[in-house]
Structure 1
């Protein structure tokens, strides 16, 4: 069988089981497919196929139709209704009725001998790609059913969190570079990991590097590696995702090299003369937008454009207060299970403390508060207010429920007035109260509208 240009149909590392009782044909097919980049397992008997599938995990099965014992059509029927890979049938005795029967029974394709090598390789490649796509979809659905790693940051019903979850699911299927913007404690690394875990790169490594934690003198060695010694972060992220936290602190001298590595997937380790290659996806994060750093000459504009193909903003906890009770109870239940006690009841005073606090540490701070509350409950005492007050920079917690509710109302009303630039009808509508009630609360709470706008 001539291979000519057909062997140039490189398909990566697709796997195939070839079944044919004719040794010459079996060897010829194995040679053709191996030259085209396939990993091949050749069998003489179709009855062996099902046993080999579990171990070899092929992307497609290529089988002769007429064979002693189990025929190709019999094998096709035995695999019907299972998650088995697609079957492509070949036969020297094929006719139209046989082809129709094969396709009706679920064959991906039917080719008659002698066949054109290019046509065969194309059919097999398409069959394998469709099978892998189905597998990826199944894997994604399974992961979506178990998003426990996202609960720490993405649990909630606020629109901002719902939108963020949807964005993560959309972007996880792409290779686009993503920049995450959010305050400390909003969960940027967890979002980066979710983008990796739900992506086709999930089987590869997830490498997280905090740029601010590395001295400028060691940054290039850590990132690009050494000719003899540490292989470097880029090499370690081959086939997976590299998360660069606090990317704004990346030393300026290293930024040009990082830009080139992102563009070419090649980099030069320190002290080396031969570049290395690495296939990685970049997800970066910053506490603030880097426009001012670009304007000050501290961050390269071309690198920023490479990093912020898509920007996801993670909302601070104070902007999604409706989610606070749900998050707190989730964390408290986790720690209560860990310490083998019942979760402490959430009293009205506890609820007021949760809602009146400004949460400068965001979800991370809330998790720590829940942990401290559960630890105190083990000793038969404690409150949410007490757990919050252990933070040295926390705001003062009101002593009574009345004061806490008033503080919370004051914050909500002030924010609504600022958001709607003093338009009281719009602010009242956003708060879900009447204009007259809003005016009464402004007076009662001692708010100065002029100072707010």
Structure 2
């Protein structure tokens, strides 16, 4: 809960002495105070500098306190505490009906006034926080294609995200390659109270002890922990973290020791596509690290288990890619629908997205073609570790183009310019690489 030092109050009273007394009382306990002699001045200031609570005199020239209170009903105003030397029961009842938080008579008890103001400000902050969280959670229904769907599985996933997003405990996301675990992590972050700080992603499979020491425990401002402070650290491929790095990761999570002896103010979200029972049994993952990361588990369903979403998702992807490429949105035939539903989608949503892009690009060049011609399992399966120079070059090109596509929101002209290649070459590489 915020302390009084975090709160801001409006004091509105035409009596200069009382106004000064109220301001001195609040400033003594750490409040920031804005003072006004006229109600209309305060009404103008609320829009640009809204306080957490207001202390308002009832009898004032021009606009009375009750009149100001009535004006505030039209906006999402902070709580108001009315004070007056002319108070009586009918006036108190009217003030409460107009929306006042409480009503105090002069001379007021300073302790009672401070208590009422603090409680009012705390409740106002909680209402604002709840409103923001509801807005974020409502927006999750449109968070990329992963959360677009009508099946029970995807509905349960949304509910799970909503349930755990507001906690700060570590979350482990499990699911096959391509189901969208990174999007679930993004959803958790955006719906949390940490959403104002960007989420930082770390691929644990690429870590070495030296690199981990630099990222985790270097007290400089360039360290990964410093960048993620106040936000979310997404540990991708956590089960592939090298065994000699796992104790360092465990130390960071358990002790919050960043080398500078400051707590790591970070929410940990991790993801893996590996069988963790096997990883634990073979010693590829430490049990203590697993139990520390897996306080809450979120399972993302494979696409084959939510077949009723396949056509909806495919149409969504095609519409997006057609708009990005300034192409005609392809019309699905019954044969197209049958082909989409018959395929098992081992690469899940990522593979479906790649097929949609190929379908749009191939149709742009050659006219409408069957969707079946765009489904090429050999280019959509999960990427393996390159064994030849050609495979390594293809993997590098895939990563470069994919990053450029993400950074430019799929604008192909910008992607081509960023990579220094022509549009035709870019389209050919996208199709060839199955992006």
Which TM bucket (shorter chain)?
Answer: 0.7 to 0.9
The answer to whether 1:234 aligns with 2:225 is: yes
Is the Cα–Cα contact under 8 Å of residues 205 and 239 in structure 1 kept in the other structure? no
Corresponding residue of 1:389:
376
Correspondence for 2:205 among 196, 212, 223: 212
> 1:249 Cα shift?
3.1
The answer to whether 1:201 aligns with 2:194 is: yes
TM-score (norm 1): 0.76
Q: Output aligned runs, 1:333-372, within 5 Å.
A: 333-372=319-358
> 1:281 Cα shift?
1.8
The aligned length equals 381
Cα distance in 2, alignment partners of residues 24 and 169 from structure 1: 50
Correspondence for 1:133 among 107, 117, 126: 126
Cα distance in 2, alignment partners of residues 284 and 328 from structure 1: 28
Corresponding residue of 2:389:
none
> 1:177 Cα shift?
2.2
Structure 2: segments with no counterpart, 5+ residues: 383-435
Cα distance in 2, alignment partners of residues 285 and 34 from structure 1: 48
TM-score (norm 2): 0.79
Q: Secondary structure at the match of 2:146?
A: helix
| Distance of aligned partners of 1:292 and 1:34 in 2 relative to their CA distance in 1, 3 Å threshold | farther
| Distance of aligned partners of 1:113 and 1:300 in 2 relative to their CA distance in 1, 3 Å threshold | farther
> 1:337 Cα shift?
1.5
| Distance of aligned partners of 1:223 and 1:176 in 2 relative to their CA distance in 1, 3 Å threshold | same
Q: Output aligned runs, 1:166-181, within 5 Å.
A: 166-181=159-174
Cα distance in 2, alignment partners of residues 12 and 37 from structure 1: 4
Q: Secondary structure at the match of 1:320?
A: helix
Root mean square deviation of aligned Cα: 2.7
Cα distance in 2, alignment partners of residues 9 and 34 from structure 1: 16
The answer to whether 1:268 aligns with 2:258 is: yes
The answer to whether 1:185 aligns with 2:185 is: no
Corresponding residue of 1:16:
9
Cα distance in 1, alignment partners of residues 107 and 254 from structure 2: 45
Structure 1: segments with no counterpart, 5+ residues: 1-7, 396-453
Q: Output aligned runs, 1:19-418, within 5 Å.
A: 19-147=12-140, 149-224=142-217, 226-228=218-220, 230-252=221-243, 254-263=245-254, 266-269=256-259, 274-381=260-367, 382-389=369-376, 391-392=378-379
Task: Using the TM superposition, name which of 362-371 and 62-71 deviates more.
Answer: 62-71
Cα distance in 1, alignment partners of residues 32 and 122 from structure 2: 15
Is the Cα–Cα contact under 8 Å of residues 146 and 180 in structure 2 kept in the other structure? yes
Q: Secondary structure at the match of 1:107?
A: coil
> 1:141 Cα shift?
4.1
